[in-house]
Structure 1
Amino acid sequence: MASTRRIYSIPYMLWLGLFVIAPVMLIIYQSFKGIDGNYTLENYRIYFSSSTYLMMTLNSVLYAFIITAMVLLVSYPAAYFLNQLKHKQLWLMLIILPTWVNLLLKAYAFIGIFSAHGSVNQFLDFVGIGSKQILFTDFSFIFVAAYIEIPFMIMPIFNALEEMNPSLISASRDLGANSLETFRRVIFPLSLNGVKSGVQAVFIPSLSLFMLTRLIGGNRVITLGTAIEEHFLVTQNWGMGSTIGVILIIAMVLIMLVTGEKKKRGGRTK
């Protein structure tokens, strides 16, 4: 039995080694090389002593936090409402369907919607407000990023709510708790693992967005993702680009540690 399990684990271990561990090690290795090809710590010195890079890091975290907060505010009520519906799996599938559309196509669709002659400005003209500059703003970037990330927050929260034991909710109401108290003391704490998984699924990708910053933000929104793209494709300073990549990896690991399930003594999870 043990030998069979080892055989089945070989494809997974190969995939993990070739497409996860090897690329990460290559990025770490490349981060210690200067633009002249020599090994150096100069990339890290420049990063931590440069106000530009530090401000870029702060912007990336701030944008990721705002996007995650907006997505959570929309996704939790949506997942809760979906869980009450009769054909909830069908409605969930309809929400997931947009994730099958290519990200680039969705970005170009929003360019048309938010452009000077797009649907939104046509509506604003119709109601007498007048056209506004919506595209290439912080609002448009955050709105589009949040829209794209919503299904990835809804799914884990929906699953956590669906797996909840209904008898716990009934017991809470039998003991005299009203709907608000039941939600605050029973439903939300029991669905917290779904919330944490959703935060991971949204916050981590939002840290390194670069295509939306180009197409929707119009280069007004500068994040670490755009800096990496710039160093690898324009300046050809792969060492500095890899250094920023290492910083992003560390940030992602920290987020996973903070939002991960805490183990109690005896192996029980919380």
Structure 2
Amino acid sequence: MKNKHWFFLLPYSLWIGLFVVLPLLLIFWTSLTGNGSISLENFSNFFTNATFLRMTLNSFWYALLITLFTLLVSYPVAYILTKLKNQQFWLLLIILPTWINLLLKAYAFIGIFGKSGLVNNFLHLFGIGPVNILFTNFAFIFVATYIEIPFMILPIYNAIKEIDPALINAANDLGASKWQSFRYIIWPLSLPGVESGVQAIFIPSLSLFMLTRLIGGNRVITLGTAIEEYFTTTMNWSMGSTIGVILIVMMVAVMVLTGEKNKRKKEVKL
């Protein structure tokens, strides 16, 4: 039995070792050996350069805004979904956009937000425009939020769906209002879904680079765009790897802060 156990574990271990652990080690090694010898010069430059620090703050700020707006839209939608009939059909409609290639969706929004696009044509009916919507912070955050919404709705929907209706009925019988039921029962018990959604949105948003280029133009600068610049334009792989290592550390920190230890049971109080 032990031999069979190791036999089935071997492919998984090889996959993790070759495509997860080894690339991470290579990135870390490249970040330390940019000048031919092992040094922390790149890390020192990163933490002493105001430009890198500004890009780090920008990455956190944009990721926070995208996550916040996604949560504000997704939570009510997920809650309403749990009350509808034919829930599987509505969930399918929400999941369908995720099947479309990200690049195609980005180019679709370029057409929508362009000076001769759908939005400006609509504003022209009221004598407004053309308005420069594309290549702005608003356009970048709007498109990123739209793309990430399904990944926030699904975990919240599952968390709300698992709440025992008897708890809500008991609260109503005891005279709790709808707001009190939501505040003391639904919201605390759905927090695991919210935390999973925050992980699914915030962590990828830290490293966005394609949307920042296509939708935000050169006005939206993040760590993701910096990594792309160092690897593809300046060919400074050592500095690009350094930024990648720092970005990975930040992602791990976010996962720890929103991880299992925060998913403790909460008392239901009325």
- 1:262–1:269 Cα contact (<8 Å) kept: no
> Counterpart amino acid of 1:44?
F
Q: Which residue of 2 is the match for residue 23 of structure 1? A: 23
> Counterpart amino acid of 1:205?
P
1:6 offset after TM fit, Å?
Answer: 3.5
Q: Which residue of 1 is the match for residue 147 of structure 2? A: 148
Q: How many residues align?
A: 266
Counterpart CA distance in 2 for 1:55 and 1:194 is 32
* Identical-residue share of aligned pairs (%): 64
Give unmatched runs, 5+ long, in structure 1.
Answer: none
- 1:157–1:194 Cα contact (<8 Å) kept: yes
- 1:261–1:269 Cα contact (<8 Å) kept: no
Q: Which residue of 1 is the match for residue 213 of structure 2? A: 214
TM-score, normalisation: structure 2: 0.95
Q: Which residue of 1 is the match for residue 186 of structure 2? A: 187
Alignment deviations for residues 238-265 of structure 1 (CA, whole Å, 9 cap, x no partner) = 110010001101100110011112279x
Counterpart CA distance in 1 for 2:106 and 2:244 is 24
Counterpart CA distance in 2 for 1:263 and 1:228 is 31
Q: Which residue of 1 is the match for residue 9 of structure 2? A: 9
Counterpart CA distance in 2 for 1:158 and 1:11 is 34
Alignment deviations for residues 11-53 of structure 1 (CA, whole Å, 9 cap, x no partner) = 322222122111111111111022x433221101100100000
Q: Is structure 2 residue 129 aligned with structure 1 residue 130?
A: yes
Counterpart CA distance in 2 for 1:158 and 1:198 is 10
TM-score, normalisation: structure 1: 0.95
Counterpart CA distance in 1 for 2:163 and 2:16 is 32
Structure 1 residues 115 and 25: alpha-carbon distance in aligned structure 2, compared to 1, 3 A threshold: same
Alignment deviations for residues 181-213 of structure 1 (CA, whole Å, 9 cap, x no partner) = 001000010000000000000000000000001
How do residues 61-76 of structure 1 correspond to structure 2 at under 5 angstroms?
Answer: 61-76=60-75
Counterpart CA distance in 1 for 2:189 and 2:61 is 28
**CA RMSD of superposed structures (Å):** 1.5
Counterpart CA distance in 1 for 2:229 and 2:215 is 17
Alignment deviations for residues 168-188 of structure 1 (CA, whole Å, 9 cap, x no partner) = 111111221111100100001
Counterpart CA distance in 1 for 2:173 and 2:106 is 49
1:8 offset after TM fit, Å?
Answer: 2.9
3-state SS of 1:84 partner: coil
Counterpart CA distance in 1 for 2:6 and 2:128 is 66
Give unmatched runs, 5+ long, in structure 2.
Answer: none
Counterpart CA distance in 2 for 1:31 and 1:58 is 21
1:3 offset after TM fit, Å?
Answer: 4.6
Counterpart CA distance in 1 for 2:236 and 2:69 is 35
